[in-house]
Amino acid sequence: MAEKKVYRVAVVGCGGIARQKHLPALARLDNVEVVWFCDIIRERAEELCARYGAAGARVTEDYRDVVNDATVDVVHVLTPNREHSFITIDSLDAGKHVMCEKPMAKTYAEGKKMVEAARRSGKKLTIGYQTRHKADSLYLKTMIENGDLGEIYFARAEALRRRGVPTWGVFLDAEAQGGGPLIDIGTHALDLTLWQMNNYDVDYVVGTSYRRLGDNENSANIFGPWDPKEFTVEDSAFGFIRMKNGATIILESAWALNVLDFYEAKCVLAGTKAGADFHDGLRINGERYGRMYEFKPDLEAGGVAFFEGGGNEKPYEREARLFYEAIEKDIDPVVLPEQALVVTRILEAIYTSAKTGRPVYFDED
């Protein structure tokens, strides 16, 4: 029996997303060893290396040390958005598979180069949209693929916070991130919506963005006060997306908005046979036998006393496991780079439309 392949992994970026998502997920995989920890703040890399590193794991402040190590199989790119593209491209061209955190890139042009590098290298590239891996997302996807909702012609992608402005790192820095809530959390809601609809053919986009609450430095923010001088991104942004088959998607994103109903990484879908949303768990609605109905599927694994079952895998753990299975079996990853590129293109179009006051037609780009 052939010995199981163990993948040598490098983590580039040792901030919150590395310590809260990627490294805990990788620690659960028996075919992975993390051998490089890279961060411009060396102490952060050293801390995570001590906690998660394999024997002989190394620390660096320069991602090129990772790229130049021929023994590295996979790179996780977990940096601010401005670094996603060139670190990913260099890693792919060096013969490594890449898991890049969302969003794919700051710009559509950068994202296109990432897709081209994946095709050129023949290596796997995926983007960290873990919301697809939630139990309710997977259940609804199966329903849609079975035709239970019919043709989905209206959707709302929702990523709204009442006061949830991230005040750490570079989230408020337009140059580092490329934007605010739209590119940060709106990207999750949009990816989930497009994936559920299986519709990536965009006709045009209209967008608006606002920075109306960013000067309120004493706002009751769940992450603490922010410095208005450092708040260089929008606090909310909205998009109207018309698909080529006539379907409509409304995208709503905000870190700070005066609303009482707020949802993050959710969507509402309306089809010719039924509809669905995630507002109170997964809810399905429709009409049958002359009556309207609503039901909530039971997505818990239980049912046997004193036994919790095996359905406790977290979405980000499933994301990591399936990516390494895609590498091992040489199959497509769950999140295709071409799909993530459409998400990035729409986000950029919303920002462009908000700035110019004009629609962005995709066939004209």
The C-alpha R_g of the chain, in whole angstroms, comes to: 21
Q: Give the pLDDT confidence score for residue 309 in this predicted structure.
A: 44
Answer for the pair 266, 173: CB distance below 8 angstroms, yes or no.
no
Which of 85, 93, 90 minimizes the C-alpha distance to 111?
A: 85
The answer to whether residues 353 and 242 belong to one domain is yes
Answer for the pair 219, 269: CB distance below 8 angstroms, yes or no.
no
Q: Give the pLDDT confidence score for residue 249 in this predicted structure.
A: 98
The answer to whether residues 123 and 105 belong to one domain is yes
Q: Give the pLDDT confidence score for residue 229 in this predicted structure.
A: 95
Task: Give the C-alpha separation, 241 to 239, whole Å.
Answer: 6
The answer to whether residues 47 and 180 belong to one domain is no
Q: Give the pLDDT confidence score for residue 115 in this predicted structure.
A: 98
Number of domains in the chain: 2
The answer to whether residues 120 and 143 belong to one domain is no
DSSP 46-102: HHHHHHHPPTT-EEES-HHHHHT-TT--EEEE-S-GGGHHHHHHHHHHTT-EEEEES
Residue 74 lies in a domain: yes
The answer to whether residues 186 and 52 belong to one domain is no
Preceding omega of 297 cis (within 30 degrees of 0): no
Q: Which residues pair with 288 in a beta bridge?
A: 291
Answer for the pair 54, 62: CB distance below 8 angstroms, yes or no.
no
The answer to whether residues 198 and 241 belong to one domain is yes
Residue 321 lies in a domain: no
Which of 116, 29, 41 minimizes the C-alpha distance to 79?
A: 41
What order do you get walking across the sheet with 360-361 strand by strand?
A: 291-295, 283-288, 274-277, 266-271, 152-160, 248-254, 236-243, 202-210, 360-361
Residue 290 lies in a domain: yes
CATH code assigned at 106: 3.40.50.720
The answer to whether residues 32 and 82 belong to one domain is yes
Q: How many C-beta neighbours within 10 Å does residue 63 have?
A: 23
The answer to whether residues 98 and 137 belong to one domain is no
Decide which of 113, 128, 143 is a domain's last residue: 128
Which of 141, 150, 110, 117 minimizes the C-alpha distance to 297?
A: 141
Give the DSSP letter of residue 41: S
Which helix (DSSP H) or strand (DSSP E) does residue 277 occupy? strand 274-277
CATH code assigned at 179: 3.30.360.10
The answer to whether residues 275 and 162 belong to one domain is yes
Q: Give the pLDDT confidence score for residue 24 in this predicted structure.
A: 98
Residue 337 lies in a domain: no
Residue 1 lies in a domain: no
The answer to whether residues 93 and 141 belong to one domain is no
Residue in this structure with the two tokens 């709503």, named with its chain if needed: 252
Residue 97 lies in a domain: yes
Between the alpha carbon of residue 26 and those of residues 22, 114, 185, 218, 274, the distances in Å are 6, 24, 23, 39, 38
Decide which of 112, 128, 144 is a domain's last residue: 128
Q: Give the pLDDT confidence score for residue 163 in this predicted structure.
A: 96
Range of the domain at 102: 7-128
Torsion of CA 170, 32, 339, 14, to 10 degrees: 0
Decide which of 105, 128, 151 is a domain's last residue: 128
Task: Give the C-alpha separation, 308 to 130, whole Å.
Answer: 23
Residue 322 lies in a domain: no
Which of 115, 1, 22, 20 minimizes the C-alpha distance to 9?
A: 22
The answer to whether residues 186 and 221 belong to one domain is yes
Residue 294 lies in a domain: yes
The answer to whether residues 26 and 91 belong to one domain is yes
What stretches in the chain show pLDDT beneath 50? 303-304, 306-310
